[in-house]
Chain A
Amino acid sequence: MSTNPRDMPKREGAFEREPARRIFASELRECRYQFKDGEDEKSPTFVLLPTGERSNRVFLVGTLTEKTRQGEQNIFYRGRVVDPTGTFFVMAGSYQPEAMQQLARIEPPQFVAVIGKPNLYQKPDGAFMNSVRVESITVVDKETRDLWVLDAAKQTLDRIDAYTDSTSPDVIKAKEQYPNIDPAVFRRIAYDALAQIKM
């Protein structure tokens, strides 16, 4: 008799929060494909990473190097957060009042931890632009930054290792969408990022 509830599938409707992926700036920059999972207006939006993973949320730690306030009626803040591989563009507008106030208070340069949603835009000239809409941003110390670099490197390597033989639909889609990107380049990038941490 298999009536043990622990053997049974999760009850329907149980809320699963989307995990925050660890992605280096240089990988997020390459994203060109964004999709919705489901028909619903509220269905989550994902960007597809070249290493074959979908991401609805990211967690990143880097140095906030500059921030600017923009807009008259609808104020919003833009910032640049730098990791060992490149730059994340982050923004917080009046739809994220908490995040905007947090960002407004931080004076660069500072190490910051950012939780947010990646977004893909196409500029009028056809160039793609990836930015992160901030859900929350806090000042952290260097140790947290170093821990994040380890974490991002590990998860990037995990994705690369899974990529080769995987038959997951996201990997297949990634191979289709990014025919010119060999995920092996991100292995080199991870190595360089790790090497920048001083022992």
Chain B
Amino acid sequence: MDYSEAAERISRKFSKSGQAVDLKKIEGKLRRLVDEFGVQPQEAERSVTNELNKEFNIPTAGSGGSAGKSGGGTEQKKIADGVPGDWVTIEGKVVALSAPVSPSIAQNGIIADESGAIRFVAWAKSNAPAMAEGSWYRIESAVVDEFKGIPNLKIHSGTTVKEISEDRSLIPAPVPVKDLHPGIAGVRAKVIQEWDATHDRMLQSGLLGDESGTVKFVIWKEPGKEKLTVGAVYTIFYAQVDEFNGRLSLNLTTATVMKEDGDIPVSGGEAAVRGSIVHIAPGSGIIKRCPVEGCNRALSRQNYCPIHEIQPGFVYDLRIKGWLDDGEKTHNILLQRDAVESLTGITLDAAKEIAENNPLGMDEVFLRMRDAVLGRYIVCKGREIDGRLLVNTCERVKFDSGEHAALLNRAGGAS
């Protein structure tokens, strides 16, 4: 079993409060608890966290809080000020409710005030009154804790929930995409791409962007949910920002989404790299793809798809995987069909022709493309995702006599 992820989670929690912890030590503790003592992994994580809390004198959640604010006398706070471990009393408006994922949960959703919003969970055992979307409540003695790195308000049997007669309208401020962090947040962004659904329950996924950057979004199937339109701009409130494998993703299932007129610039994410192509990886050239709707995976030479097995009715495609090197850093690049055609001058039809009529078959396309692009200077523009540049456009660098003259001056100037 791998404990590094859990250890990572724990260390992040403490580095937030300025404490340095030893990852190896945490991992060791987790391993000892789980492997030697048969503790459930989640429980082990909790107990290691608590141990460290004690070590650093941080009051823990669920243990009654620190002496000053134990019992019912919890402070009234703004939602944004609640940090994990706090017992709080808040007043806020329920802005979203979602279907409970477990019978032990009575209700979950998002509650907001002027300062921000937080996800809440009301346990079935708490016997709290059912809350209605759009109404205001005063919640006394609830606990803020953390679930999967996201602050979460727990309504338990010691919590008092009262509806209050408030009817202010909340206008949350959207944040730039690059400043998103796990929790609840709003953005004003444009739908840049729509991706194929990777799961039956998924309604839509894709990429949202504003001037500052881009982020993945997902909407799960629930009654009344509608897809977003690619190219349209939306103001989105109360979306849940999740983190998975160090990457953020916006869950819009519970969010308030408003379509806007007009357009916004989306510059973030588009990077340009100039360099020479120093390697063309296997799997470049002409490839076969799985024809099953929504699959599109690259097939092996035997037309085998990892999911749909043998697919004789494959479709051909072009791509180049390789490394673009600027002398300081080497960038992993992926070129899709359009970019490959314009760079190599070999169209998909021409490549098919070569592949089907040549003794070397698809290898011949690879070799011709390699000879056409390897060692050449190009500029690639695209988005960097997971350390790989997905190239939208690329072109060859042309000799620029202005650059030549400038370099001559620079070399001659100081000697």
Contacts and interface: CB of A to CB of B under 8 A. Distances in A.
B408 A138 contact: no
B278 A144 contact: no
B25 interface: no
Interface residues of B, number: 43
B262 interface: no
Given A138-B371, A150-B403, A22 B327 contact: yes
Contacts of A115: 278-279, 374-375
Contacts, number: 117
14 contacts: A3-B12, A3-B181, A4-B179, A19-B329, A19-B330, A59-B276, A61-B375, A113-B276, A113-B374, A113-B376, A148-B377, A150-B404, A188-B415, A191-B411
Interface string B23-60: 00000000000000000000000000000000000000
A19 B326 contact: yes
A116 to B, nearest CB: 10
Provide the main secondary structure of the chain B interface.
mixed
- Most-contacted residue by chain A among B278, B387, B401 (CB, 10 A): B278
Interface string A143-167: 1101110110111010000000000
Contact of A155 (B16, B180, B248, B327): B327
B325 interface: yes
B276 A197 contact: no
A153 B181 contact: no
A187 interface: yes
A59 B247 contact: no
User: Would you list the 5 A-B pairs with minimal beta carbon distance, nearest first?
Assistant: A113-B375, A191-B411, A17-B330, A5-B246, A138-B374
A3 B377 CA distance: 38
B181 A1 contact: yes
Interface of B: 12, 16, 149, 178-182, 243, 246-248, 276, 278-279, 323, 325-330, 332, 370-371, 374-377, 387, 397-399, 401, 403-404, 407-408, 410-412, 414-415
B243 A140 contact: no
A129 interface: no
Contacts of A181: none
B279 A5 contact: no
A163 to B, nearest CB: 13
Given A20-B327, A115-B279, A153-B411, A139 B377 contact: no
Given A8-B246, A20-B325, A115-B375, 14 more contacts: A4-B180, A17-B330, A59-B327, A138-B370, A138-B371, A138-B374, A144-B377, A147-B399, A151-B327, A184-B415, A187-B414, A188-B411, A194-B404, A197-B404
Given A147-B399, A153-B407, A194-B404, A5 B247 contact: yes
A136 B327 contact: no
